[in-house]
Amino acid sequence: MLLSPDQISPRQKLILAGLYLSKYDALGLTKLGFHGFTEAFNVLGYALGGRPGSIKNYRDEFDPIVSKHRKGWHKRPTRQYCMDVLEEYKDLDFATFTDLVRSLAGYDDRIWNEAQGARRQTGESQFARRLATGLAAERYFQATHSKIPEFRSGEIEDTTRLGCGYDFLIKPLRGDGPLAVEVKGLTERTGSLFMTPKEYSVARAFGKRFYLFVVKDFARVPFHEIFQDPLSGKLVFKKTERTLIQTSWSTSV
């Protein structure tokens, strides 16, 4: 009996991602919405709380066994704990394995669309883009914030699921007050960023204590850029208004 995603260990999640990429190659990349292996390693690696290089290593580990195109690490035996994962999940079909990889990071297409007020996308999966702009960028921040002068001297609180208008609150050991950090991600080196009305309002209220932390270039080598008080800096925000039509049914009882 297969484990549910919340019962799978962090290392096994990385191993499964590597196995999927080894077994399904370009087909798997396309289905998940990635344009290449480097992007997949970066986005999945950070989103699953590991290193991008770990997923590449696990892909190479399985290549001699399941890949039709790559030799991988064919000069030594596959490690036993990887073989154990392969044995447990070897019978999954493509659709089921794809859903499993998507779920390892807690991704749910229905919930994402409801949270964003967005129409369901057509065509290939939007998994890669959504993961890069969300969870992968957030995990990148968590992995690097202690090395950043603006943030390393305070206690960090994860507020990503609380709807506060920011993703992390940093409480300095001393200073004027807490710092709010909103994290955004981009697949390329440049692109468009969007702030919700709540995020925009909080940024205005916090002023210089609000930081926009942008992780760029997941497609190649991720790096970050920090904007303090983004509404008063070099960024120019353009207001866009949309009218959403909601349909409901009522009855009398």
The residue extents of the domains of the chain are 5-126, 134-232
Residue 242: predicted pLDDT: 81
Residue 1: predicted pLDDT: 67
Residue 5: predicted pLDDT: 83
Residue 113: predicted pLDDT: 47
Task: Read off the pTM.
Answer: 0.88
Number of Cβ within a 10 Å radius of residue 177: 9
Amino acid of residue 37: F
- Tokens matching residue 204: 């205005």
Q: How many residues are recorded in the chain?
A: 253
Ranges of the chain with pLDDT below 50: 110-124
Residue 123: predicted pLDDT: 40
- Tokens matching residue 26: 């370009």
Number of Cβ within a 10 Å radius of residue 65: 16
- Cα radius of gyration (the chain): 21
Decide: 99 and 109 in contact? Cβ < 8 Å.
no
- Tokens matching residue 46: 């950070």
Quick one: fold of 134-232? Trna Endonuclease; Chain: A, domain 1 (3.40.1350)
